[in-house]
Amino acid sequence: MELLKKYQILFNKYLEEHPFNGVPEELYEPANYIMKLGGKRLRPAMVLMAYELFKDDLEKALPIAMSVEVFHNFSLVHDDIMDEALVRRGKPTVHEKYSSNTAILSGDVMLVLANQVLFEIQETASILPLIRVFNRTAIEVCEGQQMDMNFETRQNVTIPEYIKMISLKTAALLAACLEMGAIASETDAQNIKNIYNFGLNIGIAFQLQDDILDTFGDPKIFGKKIGGDIIQNKKTFLILKALEVANSDQKNRLSNLMNTPTKDENKKIQEVTELLRQLNIPDLAEQEKEKFKEKAFASLAKINIPESRKLPLTQLAEIIIGRKV
């Protein structure tokens, strides 16, 4: 993503200059390993972009960019244990490469380090507000993860509950990235609130887009195997919406497909996808996504700065929630 390049270069340089180098190294090496697996550095870029809305010297926001990326990677390390995931960004997950115990403990220390790095901020008056947002967000992400785990065994998940879950699990951190960048820039409370709401709604739209792409995306562009959510019987927006609009025959067919073990995964993906298409789910999901996108941009519009300054953020939002099916 060309747009992110400037921020990625800045962040990756900072990361390289600030490796975890405590002892014993068995604790810190897994943390360095996951941090260096790469990724788009979307969250650090969002911190820097939010800071840049209001101020130019964006290297001052780098400790915050570090904080959110360390936190994000902590959550990946622990989530991968819980999901028994073997591969992350084409490489072994931390618990696979080292051990579950190491992954638990290294994750723990990363969670603390993510908080501690905020003390590196030069404007010391911002540290306490930043830690407050960090703690609130970390708690929300845990709550979202627990809701997601609960959904696995629940049969009556509603769409509002699903939106709440993805708000906590995914959108809260994206929103916090923008909020923390804005706090560090020392802009006013109203701007901070608006940029947060922009991030929260973009984050929800981002997850809805991810749901859409997981089933209807172009495998060449999506990167992951299409149909993963269907195989895992995940109650995504697509499925919940389908259960809402389906007639009782279609409902039964969908429930049967989801509750019957199958050996032919491709056939299952094909049948569920076909049913979702019949129910017009791609359009309905796009409409839902659009709703949150509109809310997001309404918040952004309230921020009284030249539109040109908002350009990186609006472009980023368009890209992450608008990739074509």
Select 108 or 318, whichever has its Cβ closest to a copy of itself. Answer: 108
Q: Which of 2, 17, 21, 23 touches a copy of itself by CB under 8 A?
A: 23
> How many residues in the shown chain lie near a copy of itself by CB under 8 A?
36
- Collect all residues with Cβ–Cβ distance below 8 Å to 12 and sequence separation of at least 6: 41
Q: Least Å distance between CB 100 and a copy of itself?
A: 8
* One of 9, 13, 19, 22 touching a copy of itself (CB under 8 A): 22
Q: Which is nearer to a copy of itself, 149 or 301 (CB)?
A: 149
Among residues 1, 27, 231, 258, which is the contact residue for a copy of itself, using CB under 8 A? 27
CB of 99 to a copy of itself, least distance (A): 9
Nearest distance from C-beta of residue 122 to a copy of itself, angstroms: 15
119 contributes a contact to a copy of itself by CB under 8 A: yes
Q: Which stretch binds a copy of itself (CB under 8 A): 3-11, 16-24, 224-232, 298-306?
A: 16-24
Q: In one letter, which amino acid is 275?
A: L
Q: Which stretch binds a copy of itself (CB under 8 A): 124-132, 181-189, 285-293, 312-320?
A: 124-132
Shorter beta-carbon distance to a copy of itself: residue 101 or 232: 101
- Applying CB under 8 A, does 169 fall inside the site for a copy of itself? no
- Position 252 contacts a copy of itself (CB under 8 A): no
- Give me the 217-246 binding string for a copy of itself, x by CB under 8 A, dash otherwise: ------------------------------
Written as one string, the DSSP assignment of 50-100 is HHHHH-S-GGGGHHHHHHHHHHHHHHHHHHHHHTT--EETTEE-HHHHS-H
Residues 89-118, mask of contacts with a copy of itself (x by CB under 8 A)? ------------xx-xx-xxx-xxx-xx--
Amino acid identity, position 97: K
Q: How far apart are the first and last CA of the chain?
A: 18
Asked if residues 95 and 102 have their Cβ atoms less than 8 Å apart, the reply is yes
Report in angstroms how near the CB of residue 157 gets to a copy of itself at its nearest.
12
The DSSP H or E segment spanning 232 is none
Range list of β-strands (E), the chain: 87-88, 91-92
User: Is the CB of 9 or the CB of 119 nearer to a copy of itself?
Assistant: 119
Among positions 28-47, residues that touch a copy of itself (CB under 8 A) are: none
Exposure string for 168-204, b = 16+ CB within 10 A, e = fewer: bbbbbbbbbbbbbbbbbbebeeebbebbbbbbbbbbb
Asked if 16 and 149 count as a contact pair (C-beta separation under 8 A), the reply is no
Q: 292: part of which helix (H) or strand (E)? A: helix 281-301
Give the C-alpha separation, 229 to 51, whole Å. Answer: 35
Instruction: Check: CB of residue 313 under 8 Å from CB of residue 300.
Output: yes
Residues 6+ apart with CB under 8 A from 281: 238, 241, 242, 245
Residue 123 φ then ψ, to 5°: -80, 90
Positions in the binding site for a copy of itself (CB under 8 A):
22-24, 26-27, 78, 81-82, 101-102, 104-105, 107-109, 111-113, 115-116, 119, 127-128, 131-132, 135-136, 138-139, 142-143, 145-147, 149-150
